[in-house]
Amino acid sequence: MSKTILIDTSRCTACRGCQIACKEWHGLPANKTYQVGWGSHQNPQDLNPNNYKLVRFSENLDNGVVRWNFFPDQCRHCEIAPCKETGDMYIEEAIVQDEKTGAILYTDKTKGFSKEQFEEIRESCPYNIPRRQEQTGLMVKCTMCNDRIHNGMPPACVKSCPTGAMQFGERADMLKFARERLAVLKKDWPEAMLADPDSVNVIFLLIDKPEHYHKYAVAQANIGPLTKQQFLATLARPFKAMKG
């Protein structure tokens, strides 16, 4: 059974502690950021090789009321990962899955992918996550803090969250907790939902329409022909935690 992160967006205050903790743990440098001309408090504007985690800000007008939604974006660590399925067609084990945690990991072998192959891998990701270091060709993204987990610690972003918006644990426990929390939130937020819980190991609990957070808040069907069938099969998989 894999490990799972649950991100309850109803508790997120956009403090960006998780974004900074991720950079700190992975020793990632700062980016030059911009406020003027971009019109958003979100910074930086997108995931990049120096940001495996990005708190996205989205403003929406709902019946005359402005709603400001926050979405701490990162790799979902798919149960069957389209990026790995696509990468395996070109270089075996450049992208691997940790048997114990379920984390999808990009190894040094990813430097061997051509730019075109990288673009194909990126396009196969239903959440638009993979990024590539221009100078080295290394593919990068969230690692689930696999090194920390193997040493008995939670992911850095989870550890840093001051509001309890992020939880980490065994997949079955997180799924059970997510369903219970969803039932509570549904009373005040009828549109509350879990984003693709049967197929990913980073599960978002949303209280508004997915498109009111981020284009890729739920899986987009931009995935390659060889992996599409497999990915959809995981979406159709019975929700085991609910049956127990």
Site string for ligand SF4, 174-193 (x = CB under 6 A): --------------------
Dist CA 56 CA 230 (whole Å): 29
Instruction: Write out the binding residues for ligand SF4, residues 27-56 only, by CB under 6 A.
Output: 52-53, 55
* Residue with smaller CB distance to ligand SF4, 64 or 230: 230
In sequence order, the 6+-apart residues with CB closer than 8 A to the CB of 134 are 49
* Residue with smaller CB distance to ligand SF4, 141 or 193: 141
Contacting residue, 2, 6, 14, 197, with ligand SF4 by CB under 6 A? 14
CB-based contact 203:213 (threshold 8 Å): no
In sequence order, the 6+-apart residues with CB closer than 8 A to the CB of 86 are 120, 121, 124, 224, 226, 227
83 binds ligand SF4 (CB under 6 A): yes
Which phi and psi angles does 36 have, rounded to 5°?
-70, 135
221, 236, 5: which is closest to 123 by C-alpha?
221
Q: How far is the CB of 104 from ligand SF4 (least distance, A)?
A: 4
Dist CA 44 CA 32 (whole Å): 8
Instruction: Write out the binding residues for ligand SF4, residues 127-156 only, by CB under 6 A.
Output: 127, 129-130, 141-145, 155-156
C-alpha torsion angle, residues 78, 241, 165, 64 (rounded to 10): 90
Which range touches ligand SF4 (CB under 6 A), out of 29-37, 60-68, 163-171, 182-190? 163-171
* Residue with smaller CB distance to ligand SF4, 64 or 152: 152
Number of H helices, E strands in the chain: 8, 10
* Residue with smaller CB distance to ligand SF4, 193 or 202: 202
Report the interface residues with ligand SF4, using CB under 6 A.
Answer: 12-18, 21-22, 25, 52-53, 55, 72, 74-78, 81-83, 104, 125, 127, 129-130, 141-145, 155-157, 160-161, 163, 165-166
